[in-house]
Structure 1
Amino acid sequence: MIIQLKKPLLTALVLAGAMQGASVAQTAVKPKPLVTDLFTADPSAHVFNGRIYIYPSHDIEANVPQDDEGGHFNMRDYHVYSMDKVGGPVIDHGVALDLKDIPWAGRQLWAPDAAYRNGTYFLYFPVKDKDDVFRIGVATSKSPTGPFKPQPKPIPGSYSIDPAVFTDQDGHSYMYFGGIWGGQLQRWHTGKYDAGLKTDLGKGHENEPALTAKVARMKDDMLTFDETPKNVEILDENGKPLLAKDNDRRFFEGAWMHRFGDKYYFSYSTGDTHFLAYAVGSSPYGPFTYKGIIMKPVSGWTTHHSIVEFQGKWYIFYHDVELSGKTHLRNIKVRMLTRGKDGSIQTIDPQ
């Protein structure tokens, strides 16, 4: 496949952790933003055709007051980026999908993900419909860079935000999704939409199992679910579900799945406590046992990431606000991910 590269960004990259197995605390060097001419966030990284492709959000200054429902994150399109090696030039392939081209969309084109099957690339995206309810849509292209053509309606049975699609070694694909507060996951806790729940379930629910992400196996067409979404259960060291009051460990948003050996690593953001955490299980459905923190808080409010293997090494893509200092104008970065011999992930301090 020949891909026309449009706009190289002359951005240098400094990696954290010069070699796998080294101590992050001893070798950490703060990376530079991968993109400097636009504000980008929520990077979803994939390896297609031996090249890294990044599918981030595109932050803009919408002049909307900041609130707990994320109204100030009023993004309107996606750019696709790529690079042939970590540390090399980052290519901007231009706009891959625009809000105005999605027939059912209203506003707020949030964190996307991508997948590939049988000659087609799929771009998954959350956006509020014309009733201001988040749904998840899908668009297709014959190129990893787009442009992507959206389906006329959202995925049936989808809701909330942050789709992440994982394809296992047996060829089955699964979508993980959900986010509380502005992501509206709490509004679906009874199975029906409740617009009155603005952030979480509120007082009196602190000692109940925390709201958590959803997972659904995809049909072979990658356009629809093959089942009703299930809860992604995250357990503590005693085999008990994490509780709603456990803000340092419970799921908030930003799900990601990767496999290492025969184990499944479910990673996510804790939101208002600003950690990237992970839990490990023996099935893509879980249950997953909480194992620890991948990354301590970055500068800025939100934390959203992806983890990918490339040329025998593992990398974490994430964002902070180094360029702007504003929580809604972010920039994407990458670091090497370091594991222990037992597969545990070493904690990164991004500061």
Structure 2
Amino acid sequence: MFENKKIIGVLLFSFLVQWSWSQNPILRLGDKDFVYAADPAAEVYNDKVYVYCSHDQDTAVNYSTMQDYIVLESDDLKTWKNHGVVLKPREYSWAHGQMNAPDVAYKNGWYYFYFPYNKTYIGVAKSKTPVGPWEEAVTDKITTIFDPTVFIDDDGQAYIFGSDSKEDIGDKGRHVMGAKLKDNMIELDGPWMRLSEETVAEAVHCFKRNGKYYFMARKGWRTGYWMADSPLPTTPYAEFKGYITKRQIDAPTHMSAIEFKNQWYYFYQRGDVNNGTFHRRSACFEKLEFNDDGTIIPIEYTLDKGVKTNKPVTPIK
């Protein structure tokens, strides 16, 4: 009897801990200056978390109206400052078309904002602060790839990653792709390289933990992940380890991962909250935990108490 009570107590405590920290979604419909913040690229700068998001319009029925970028900021992952739209690339004479998932990287005193325009052309803006104001760092695309993400290794070498799902780069098919960036952060330093044996759809992200490199991407309608001993694993490719998510809720999965105050977090999007849809998404996050061998423990999606969900829409496959 005592053991049964002890087990029930442990399970209840675990549930309460998980429930009590849940902050999802980050922004709530009805809040002042609410926006649909999608494709969250989380970064840690100056002991604060900054989440760089694409912007779904309130009336969006597809992704063609995506045209600017949002920044969310927090120093505790409980209270968030919504900076709203901070970058409007269409104000640049050379940037046009659909502007989907971005990323930001810091080097040599500058924050570099990598944004797609025309879906796969990669432009760059820069700023002296994590939130702007942003100025043109280039006057044309620096490369073509889908859903760019930038990672700077411990030795200062910068890399850019993405998928060739909408670009014909390298081997036929859709794979995790990577390339070096020059020290100026606005030019490739070599060709794009294929990093995965398996095919992916989109949303590539890279992070490093305990000397291992992790690559995440949408595979089917879930987040798959790979591990490698180098940032450009080509011989052999990065090893596919399985899935981080069991499912995805009414939105194509797009994710990022950070370590903040000795805890890892997984940021993602969902379309079943805030009166959202497949094309009106909201940023969320969960704790990210690892097994002793470095593999990732699959996450469970959570919502803050009282948050209502819409009926999920089955994605078109």
- With normalisation by structure 2, the TM-score equals 0.82
Q: Secondary structure at the match of 1:163?
A: strand
- Aligned counterpart for 1:293 among listed residues 235, 243, 252: 243
Q: 1:80 to 1:339 in 2, by over 3 A?
A: same
CA distance in 2, matches of 1:147, 1:94: 13
CA distance in 1, matches of 2:71, 2:158: 22
- Are 2:201 and 1:262 aligned? no
- Aligned counterpart for 2:75 among listed residues 84, 89, 105: 84
Q: Secondary structure at the match of 2:279?
A: coil
> 2:225 is aligned with what amino acid?
Y
Q: 1:24 to 1:31 in 2, by over 3 A?
A: farther
Q: Secondary structure at the match of 1:107?
A: coil
What is the CA-CA distance between 1:229 and the residue it aligns to? 1.3
- Are 2:303 and 1:303 aligned? no
Deviation string 1:251-306 (CA, Å, 9 cap, x unpaired) is 11111111111211111111xx3111101011100120000111122211311000
Match of 2:66 in 1: 75
Match of 1:348 in 2: 299
- Aligned counterpart for 1:101 among listed residues 87, 91, 95: 91
- Aligned counterpart for 1:148 among listed residues 115, 124, 134: 134
Match of 2:56 in 1: 59
Q: 1:89 to 1:26 in 2, by over 3 A?
A: closer
Contact 1:44 1:112 in 2 (8 A): yes
CA distance in 2, matches of 1:310, 1:91: 17
- Aligned counterpart for 2:100 among listed residues 110, 114, 118: 110
What is the CA-CA distance between 1:95 and the residue it aligns to? 2.4
- Structure 2: gaps spanning 5 or more residues: 1-12, 29-33, 303-317
- Aligned counterpart for 1:251 among listed residues 200, 216, 224: 200
Match of 2:311 in 1: none
Aligned CA-pair RMSD: 2.3
CA distance in 2, matches of 1:116, 1:166: 10
Contact 2:251 2:281 in 1 (8 A): no
- Aligned counterpart for 1:335 among listed residues 278, 282, 286: 286
What is the CA-CA distance between 1:81 and the residue it aligns to? 1.1
Deviation string 1:88-130 (CA, Å, 9 cap, x unpaired) is 21112232210332221221111100000111110000111xx
> Which range is displaced more, 144-153 or 38-47?
144-153
What is the CA-CA distance between 1:189 and the residue it aligns to? 4.3
Match of 2:189 in 1: 226
Contact 1:155 1:225 in 2 (8 A): no
> 2:57 is aligned with what amino acid?
I
CA distance in 1, matches of 2:17, 2:221: 23
Contact 1:59 1:73 in 2 (8 A): no
CA distance in 2, matches of 1:275, 1:340: 20
Match of 1:172 in 2: 157
- With normalisation by structure 1, the TM-score equals 0.74
Deviation string 1:306-339 (CA, Å, 9 cap, x unpaired) is 0000111100011101122410100001110011
CA distance in 2, matches of 1:255, 1:24: 31
> Which range is displaced more, 54-63 or 44-53?
54-63
- Aligned counterpart for 1:32 among listed residues 24, 35, 39: 24
- Structure 1: gaps spanning 5 or more residues: 1-22, 67-71, 192-208, 235-240, 243-249
Q: 1:179 to 1:305 in 2, by over 3 A?
A: farther
Contact 2:41 2:255 in 1 (8 A): yes
Match of 1:119 in 2: 109
Q: Secondary structure at the match of 1:100?
A: helix
Question: Percent identity between the aligned chains?
Answer: 31
Instruction: Give the aligned length.
Output: 279
